[in-house]
Amino acid sequence: MGQQPSTPKITAQDRAIFQMKQQRDKLKQYQKRLNVVVLRQTNLAKEALSKGDKERALFYLRSKKQQQSVISKTYEQLDNLENLIGTIEFKLIEKDVVYGLTQGNQVLQKLNTEMSVDKIDKLMDEVEDERLKVDEVSEILGTKNALSNSEELEVDEEFERMDREINGTVQLPDVANDTHKVSFPETPSTELEPEEAQKEEQQNTPNEPLVA
């Protein structure tokens, strides 16, 4: 941060663009000048006409027409130049992008070579070996971190007890509900109707026996 910042470098491309831009500026100035001339000639033509000098007026108008065609030509040239400048600038950016891509690709390749399958296999083998060694040592020292058979059995029993406590009571109604829900929609509608009607009858009878 403290050091003297380096000045931006002027590249060959910069020079090329600079040259074109200078040409473009000249064209712009030329256009400005011509516009002034055209304006003056229009005025002169008007003046001549008001004095009745038809010949002169025509001369000015002709000359004006000529200038105008020059102006439109300069516009074309200007357009070309601007396009060219634009294209070059765009190409330069593209070049930067390609450069960036190449760099990225190189880095990726380098990373990939470092991550070769053989190397990783070997690494994994080594890890496994080390793990085995640890187990071995633990066994020898009798500190193997596992439960005895009886302990395992006790765990299983406790699990079942818990399972019954929590899920046992809940499971039963669940099953009943399920069969109910599933069986109803599956039965054909024609058969269902009387059943439903019956149900309604059963519900209604205590209140309105007359209907039956």
Partner 1 sequence: MEPYEFPKIHSFPPMYTQQPNATILDNQLGSWCDIILSYCEYYKISSITLTGTVIYSQFDDLDITQLPPVFENKAIDRAVNDEFKSTIFRHLIHKSKKAEYINAKSPEAGVLIYWRSLVDWANLIHDFVENTGQSGTVLTVYELTKSEDSGLPADLKNFDYNMLVKVLKNVLIKQGKAQILMSEDDPEQIGGVKIV
Partner 2 sequence: MYTTGHDRDAFSRLGKQLSDIHSSQLSTQLSVFQSALINFANEHGEDIKQNLEFRSKFTELCSSVGLDPLELSIYTNSKDDKRNNNFYISLSVRIVEVCQETRDLNGGLISFKELLPQLQNNVNLHSKITDTDVTKALEVLARLGNGYEVLTIHGKNWLKFSLASTSSSGFTTDQRKVYEVCTFMGGQVSYRLLRDNYGWDKIRCKTVLDEMIMNGFLWVDNQGVNGELHFWEPSWISS
Binding mask 90-129 for partner 1 (x = CB under 8 A): ----------------------------------------
Q: Is 18 in the site for partner 1 (CB under 8 A)?
A: yes
C-alpha 161/C-alpha 159 separation (Å) is: 5
Q: Considering CB distances under 5 to 8 angstroms, the limit depending on partner class, which of partner 1, partner 2, none binds residue 4?
A: partner 1
C-alpha 135/C-alpha 130 separation (Å) is: 9
Q: Which residues 6+ apart lie within 8 Å of 198 measured at CB? A: none
113 burial via Cβ count (<10 Å: 0-12, 13-18, 19+): exposed
Residue for token digits 């001339």?
37
| Stretch 35-74 residues interacting with partner 1 (CB under 8 A) | none
User: Phi/psi at 9 (nearest 5 deg)?
Assistant: -85, 145
Binding mask 1-40 for partner 2 (x = CB under 8 A): x---xx-x--------------------------------
Which of 1, 2, 4, 118 is close enough to bind partner 1 by CB under 8 A?
4
Q: Which residues 6+ apart lie within 8 Å of 29 measured at CB? A: none
Q: Supply the minimum distance, in Å, between the C-beta of residue 6 and partner 2.
A: 7
Binding residues vs partner 1 (CB under 8 A): 4-10, 14-15, 17-19, 21-22, 25, 28-29, 89
Binding residues vs partner 2 (CB under 8 A): 1, 5-6, 8
